[in-house]
Amino acid sequence: MATTIQPPDTESTELPIDDGKSGGGIGNSNPAGEPTRALDDRPSAPSRTGIWVGLAAITMSFAAFTSALVVRQSTGADWRHLRIPPLVFFNTVVLLASSVTLERARRRVADFFRSKSGQRSVPLFWLGATLLLGLVFVGGQYAAWLQLRAQGLYLATNPNSSFFYVLTAVHALHVLGGLAGLTRVLLRLSRPAVVLRRSTLDATSYYWHFMGVLWLYVLLVVWIKL
Amino acid sequence: MSDGTAQAVQHHTAPTGFIRKHVFSLDHKVIGLQYYGLALVAVFIGMVLSWLMRIHLVWPSWPIPGLSLLSKAGAPGGVMTPEYYLSLLTMHGTLMVFFVLTNAPFAAFGNYFLPIQIGAEDMAFPRFNMVSFWTTFLAFCILISAFFVSDGPPISGWTAYATLSAVGSDSGPGEGLGQTLWALSIFVFCIASLLGSLNFIATTLDLRTRGMTLSRMPISTWAWFITSCISLLAFAVLLPACLLLILDRVAGTSFFIPAGLVVSDHLQPHSGGSPLLWQHLFWFFGHPEVYIAILPAMGIVSHILINSMRRPLLSHKVIIYCMMGIGFLSYMVWGHHMFVSGMNPFSSLVFSFPTLVITIPATMMTLIWMGSLYGSRLRITAASLFALGFLSMFVSGGVSGFFLAQPSIDIYLHATYFVVGHFHMVMGVAAIFGVFAGTYFWFPKMTGHMMNESLGKLHFWLTFIGTYCIFMPFHYLGLAGNVRRYSAFVDDFLVPLIPVHRFVTYAALFTGAAQLIFLGNLVYSRFRGPAAPANPWEGTSLEWTMPSPPPFDNFGGKHPVVYHDPYQYGVKSSTGDYLMQDSPEQA
């Protein structure tokens, strides 16, 4: 916006702003008397808020799937126990490991920005590792579906296989979304002039860690119920 | 300089090309108008569909000119088959609920005025905003395309109850590809709504300008914010439900289809599914959806009434708490749509209680509006008339809710015209009145032209009287046992009711025609209306601080500073009897 080239506002110095309690938006809370321009120079926070809101919606969707599963289990006489392909547990470890590498990447990004001489290749390495582990997870899930198929269990074979495919596929789709976000961060960071907002990195990593937590939940449901 | 500002500079340079400016615009104001335009198209189609149904109901053998062009099989020679009547009914309901009642009061006005009322120069995620509109448009196109597939639109109603909606073309014309398109359309619509709600919430929480505390937000902004919270959680449930329905239809799964179901002499190759599951998931979304339609209208109406009364409501905070209460309770009442579904009768009792409780915040709001109106010198404008009309519709439609909330009475009234009258008044017409009020009130701001007030008042009286003539008799018809969704009345007990239906049809044609006054006024004023000043209604909130129409970056690159509560009316100040939110003056 054009404020960056405008002189700071001065109108607010004479009268008390009567700020009430919170003094404006969560991201814009600004001590009284400070020129509004200072607001613009802050990294914007909406992506951080937005990601929490998005995660709430995803949680709600999986709650709906879970309740559908519970209702479906109680109505039909065709509930057959499903042997979860062991590969899924390996995938779990991979996904959890990717959260660890992402946290390391975040620390290194912080180091890189703090000292101008910091090595860019270090955070890039850890981000790349996260991306790779994420891809291995999705590939592993695909392999698990192939194993189920080899047992003769297709999407429509019985309710248990239906729910297994639906839950894991919807989760995998969300993981792919996270991978797209990670790729975006990676590309931003590898440009000559780095244009990366902290909130973007934060939002991406919250999302990614949430994918791990969500997967543990899905695994638990699948394990207990299917 | 942080890159946050770099990005801001980038996106706040006004676009010059036609496509970036008017089609794939990132500007929340353009997107708001696009939503409004889409809703206008949808409401026109929906209204014509209702005309076709009303005409068929009272003159069942009269060939409607041109109808056979729409569907040869559905309307041979212009006389619609009973199944095609249901197809039109489905499309009418779907268009109206999703593309009109969700889009117009919430997405259209919310997009346009929420950022302005909190002093932001745009939504938090302008790109999401654009994607959200165009995804909605895609959903609209998918839905409309159902008219043009071989066996026409689905016949399962806007609620798409399984198993009718799940087993495929065995269950009737339109249940093949048409129903799949319907499910796909709603699936896409859910994604669009989720993106939109996310944007609204982040914008309200993060982009408020200095001094704009939560309690200083206008009631309309509060309403959009609460609605976006409801919408986020409701559409997040409909989305998986639609996914499961699509899988039942195209992938052979059995989520909603029970074992041993025989339809049209065909044993369905499914096992063990639960038709009730669809109803649970659908109404868990469906009831909050009612409030997604009505809460923004409540906010808009409060905003307008306060401006016209020149004094604040009896309680600003209680109105907001009531809206929150309604939003919260809306998730606990879905079962009241399912009293006769075969659900455990004890559940009926459980759902009946919160349903009756939800009338408490609604009644409190009504009493606050009425109490505030009492003794006020209301400025009579087209906008304030429609706001009063909203109150009238909300009360008249709401009162019948007390009856329907009780399982024992609902067993008789369920699926009769009583229910149709109830929800058309309390949800449909009331929300539409809110949209009309908002249009007359904000049109000068949105276009820079004034609307014709006399035509607006004429439009109000015709619409007000007309809608009562249409929907009040529905209650009587329902009490007399007239079941909904019948395309002809041949039973002995229904024949005496035909004159009432004829009256309703005349009223519907008349009221629909009266909307041409509105449309004409809208189009004429857009181009020929007198120029609007910045603050034609002497309002106090931030939208009135900027020229009409607002410049591209809303506040000219500055952040306004807010010094007051939103409704400083009836005070002594240099401007008259009101004090704008950004005025540093003390009353």
CATH of the domain at A175: 1.20.120.80
- CB-based contact (8 Å) between A211 and chain B? no
The residue assigned the tokens 């909300």 is: B394
Residue A56 in domain: no
Interatomic CA distance for residues B181 and B179, integer angstroms: 5
Q: Which two tokens stand for residue A172?
A: 């995998």
Confidence band, pLDDT 50/70/90 cuts, at residue A6: very low
List chain A residues with CB under 8 Å of B246. Answer: none
Reported as a single tens digit per residue, the pLDDT across A82-107 is 888 999 999 999 999 999 999 999 88
The CA distances from residue B176 to B168, B172, B385, in Å, are 5, 8, 46
Q: Which helix (H) or strand (E) holds B41?
A: helix B28-58
Interatomic CA distance for residues B474 and B510, integer angstroms: 17
Average pLDDT over residues A128-152: 96
List chain B residues with CB under 8 Å of A50. Answer: 124-125, 198-199, 201-202
- CB-based contact (8 Å) between A197 and chain B? yes
Q: What angle do CA A105, A106, A109 make, to 5 degrees?
A: 85
- Beta carbons of B208 and A24 less than 8 Å apart: yes
Task: Sketch out chain B's domains with CATH numbers.
Answer: 33-258+272-579 (1.20.210.10)
- Beta carbons of B254 and A78 less than 8 Å apart: yes
Residue A204 in domain: yes
Residues 6+ apart with CB under 8 A from A138: A172, A175, A176, A179
- Beta carbons of A53 and B243 less than 8 Å apart: no
The CA distances from residue B459 to A173, B155, B455, B503, in Å, are 50, 34, 6, 20
For residue A41, pLDDT beyond 60: no
Q: Specify whether the CB–CB gap between B569 and B310 falls below 8 A.
A: yes
CB proximity under 8 Å: A 176-195 to B:
195
Residues 6+ apart with CB under 8 A from A143: A87
CB proximity under 8 Å: A 81-100 to B:
none
List chain A residues with CB under 8 Å of B6. Answer: 195
The CA distances from residue A106 to A47, A102, A125, B457, B499, in Å, are 17, 6, 11, 61, 74
Confidence band, pLDDT 50/70/90 cuts, at residue B16: confident
Residue A13 in domain: no
- Beta carbons of A28 and B4 less than 8 Å apart: no
Interatomic CA distance for residues A64 and B240, integer angstroms: 7
Average pLDDT over residues A5-23: 36
For residue B403, pLDDT beyond 90: yes
Confidence (pLDDT) at A4: 34
When CB atoms are compared, the residue of B233, B254, B557 closest to A1 is B557
* Number of Cβ within a 10 Å radius of residue A33: 9
- Beta carbons of A1 and B12 less than 8 Å apart: yes
- Beta carbons of A23 and B208 less than 8 Å apart: no
The residue assigned the tokens 């014709």 is: B452
Residue A139 in domain: yes
When CB atoms are compared, the residue of B118, B251, B558 closest to A156 is B251
Interatomic CA distance for residues B304 and B308, integer angstroms: 6
Q: How high is the mean pLDDT of chain B?
A: 93
Q: Specify whether the CB–CB gap between B200 and B225 falls below 8 A.
A: yes
Q: DSSP assignment, residue B480?
A: T
The residue assigned the tokens 């997009």 is: B111
Q: Is the peptide bond before B545 cis (omega within 30 degrees of 0)?
A: no
Confidence (pLDDT) at A48: 86
When CB atoms are compared, the residue of A56, A71, A77 closest to B280 is A71
Nearest to A25 by CA among B212, B216, B117, B560: B212
Residue A65 in domain: no
Q: DSSP assignment, residue B451?
A: P
Confidence (pLDDT) at B21: 86
CA atoms within 13 A of residue B178's CA, in its CB half-sphere: 32
Confidence (pLDDT) at B6: 35
The C-alpha of A211 sits at a distance from chain B's nearest C-alpha, in angstroms, of: 17
Average pLDDT over residues B58-73: 90
Residue A191 in domain: yes
Q: Which helix (H) or strand (E) holds A215?
A: helix A198-225
- Beta carbons of A57 and B232 less than 8 Å apart: yes
Q: Specify whether the CB–CB gap between B180 and B115 falls below 8 A.
A: no
List chain A residues with CB under 8 Å of B207. Answer: 25, 27-28, 46
For residue A42, pLDDT beyond 70: no
**What is the number of structural domains in chain A?**
1
Q: Specify whether the CB–CB gap between B467 and B508 falls below 8 A.
A: no
Reported as a single tens digit per residue, the pLDDT across B218-237 is 999 999 999 999 999 999 99
Confidence band, pLDDT 50/70/90 cuts, at residue B562: very high
Mutate to test the interface with A, among B253, B562, B579 (most CBs of A within 10 A): B253
List chain A residues with CB under 8 Å of B208. Answer: 24-25, 28
Q: What angle do CA B346, B350, B351 make, to 5 degrees?
A: 115
Q: Which two tokens stand for residue B495?
A: 């024949």
When CB atoms are compared, the residue of A20, A43, A50 closest to B198 is A50
For the packed helices B382-404 and B359-373, what is the interaxial angle rounded to 10 degrees?
Answer: 150
For residue B7, pLDDT beyond 70: no
Parallel, antiparallel or unpaired: strands B262-263 and B266-267: antiparallel
Q: Specify whether the CB–CB gap between B312 and B214 falls below 8 A.
A: no
In B118-209, which ranges are continuous DSSP H helix? 126-145, 177-206
For B256, name the nearest residue in chain A, comparing CA atoms only.
A72
Average pLDDT over residues B339-344: 89
Amino acid identity, position B429: V
Reported as a single tens digit per residue, the pLDDT across B150-168 is 889 999 999 999 999 999 9
Confidence (pLDDT) at A40: 36
Reported as a single tens digit per residue, the pLDDT across A118-134 is 677 888 899 999 999 99
For residue B120, pLDDT beyond 50: yes
For A155, name the nearest residue in chain B, comparing CA atoms only.
B253
Q: Helix, strand, coil: what percent of chain B each, to 5? A: 65, 5, 30
When CB atoms are compared, the residue of B121, B252, B557 closest to A6 is B557
Helix (H, G, I), strand (E, B) or coil at B450: coil
- Beta carbons of A49 and B271 less than 8 Å apart: no
When CB atoms are compared, the residue of A47, A76, A196 closest to B273 is A76
For residue B9, pLDDT beyond 50: no
In chain A, the percentage of residues whose pLDDT exceeds 90 is 54
What is the count of residue pairs from A and B with beta carbons less than 8 Å apart? Answer: 220
- Beta carbons of A36 and B558 less than 8 Å apart: yes
Confidence (pLDDT) at B12: 56
Average pLDDT over residues A157-182: 95
Strand partners, B416: B483
Helix (H, G, I), strand (E, B) or coil at A117: coil
Confidence (pLDDT) at B45: 97
In DSSP notation, A32-85 reads TTS-THHHHTSPP-HHHHHHHHHHHHHHHHHHHHHHHHHHHHHH-S--------
Residue A46 in domain: no
Average pLDDT over residues A48-52: 91
Burial string for B8-42 (b: 16+ CB within 10 Å, else e) reads bbeebeebeeeeeeeebbbbbbbbbbbbbebbbeb
Strand partners, B578: B569
> Which stretch of A197-206, B274-283, B400-409 has the lowest confidence by average pLDDT?
A197-206
Q: Which helix (H) or strand (E) holds B282?
A: helix B275-309
For residue A7, pLDDT beyond 50: no
Q: Specify whether the CB–CB gap between B156 and B201 falls below 8 A.
A: no
Its sign, for the CA torsion B142, B148, B149, B154, is positive
Confidence (pLDDT) at B4: 37
Confidence (pLDDT) at A3: 34
Nearest to B567 by CA among B323, B384, B308, B326: B308
CB proximity under 8 Å: A 21-80 to B:
21-28, 30, 36, 39-47, 49-50, 53-54, 56-58, 60-61, 63-65, 67-68, 71-72, 75-79
- Beta carbons of B236 and A54 less than 8 Å apart: no
Average pLDDT over residues B391-413: 94
- Beta carbons of A68 and B240 less than 8 Å apart: yes
Confidence (pLDDT) at A113: 75
- For the entire predicted model, the pTM comes to 0.92
- Beta carbons of B9 and A2 less than 8 Å apart: yes
Nearest to B564 by CA among B220, B189, B246, B217: B217
Confidence (pLDDT) at A32: 45
- CB-based contact (8 Å) between A111 and chain B? no
Amino acid identity, position B51: W
The CA distances from residue B543 to B213, B290, B317, B581, in Å, are 17, 28, 21, 10
Alpha-carbon Rg for chain A in angstroms: 23
Q: Which two tokens stand for residue A34?
A: 């400070």
For A34, name the nearest residue in chain B, comparing CA atoms only.
B210
Confidence band, pLDDT 50/70/90 cuts, at residue B134: very high
Q: Which domain holds residue A181?
A: 96-225
For residue B33, pLDDT beyond 60: yes
Residue A173 in domain: yes
Confidence (pLDDT) at A117: 58
In chain B, the percentage of residues whose pLDDT exceeds 90 is 87
Interatomic CA distance for residues A128 and A104, integer angstroms: 11
For residue A10, pLDDT beyond 60: no
Interatomic CA distance for residues B386 and B372, integer angstroms: 17
Confidence band, pLDDT 50/70/90 cuts, at residue B11: very low
For A166, name the nearest residue in chain B, comparing CA atoms only.
B244
Q: Which two tokens stand for residue A145?
A: 């579906």
